[in-house]
Copies of this chain bind each other. A is one copy, B any other.
Amino acid sequence: MTDTGTPRMETTMTSTDSAPRRTRQRTAVTSALRESDSFRTAQEIHDLLRQHGHAVGLATVYRTLQTLVEAGEADVLRTADGQASYRSCSPEHHHHLVCRHCGRTVELAAPDVERWAQAVAAEHGFAEVGHHLELTGRCATC
C-alpha cells in the first residue's frame, strides 16, 4: 500500500517571535520612513506612498508603523496638534532647535546629551535607550 498519508506533526510551533512577513506594503512604508530624514506622520507617509505610486491602505500604514515602534525600529512622538510622528531609528541622530516665531530650524549634534541619556538610563536600570529632545526659542532675526 502506497502510503500517501502524511503523518500529522505539530505544525503549529509556538512561534516565539516570528519576524514580520516581507510584503510590498511593509517594504514601502519602511523605506519611505528611512528616506525621510525627519519625523513623518502616518498620513504623510500614506500620501507620500500614493504620490510615488506605491499606494498602501491607511490602516496598514498605521499598523506597520506601530509594529516598527514595538520592534524598536522606529521612534514615535506626538505633534502639537495630536498627530503621531514616526522616525526611523537610525544610528545617525540629531536634534532640532526651532524658532517659535518664524519656524527656522537648526540641526544639532549633541554627543554630550547622548552620553548623558545613556548614563542616566543605565543608572536606573533601563536598557535599549532612545530619546527625543527639541529646543525652542526665538531666533536672532525675530
Instruction: Tell me if A138 counts as interface (CB < 8 A to partner B).
Output: yes
* Structural contact, B131 and A135, CB atoms closer than 8 A: yes
By CB atoms of chain B within 10 A, which of A108, A130, A134, A135 has the most? Answer: A135
Interface string of A79-122 (1 = CB under 8 A from B): 11010100000000000010110000010101011001100110
* Structural contact, A110 and B106, CB atoms closer than 8 A: no
Q: A126-B137, A128-B137 are in contact. List 16 more A-B contacts (CB 8 A).
A: A72-B100, A82-B84, A97-B121, A97-B126, A99-B126, A100-B128, A108-B120, A117-B135, A126-B135, A126-B139, A126-B140, A129-B135, A130-B137, A131-B134, A132-B133, A133-B134
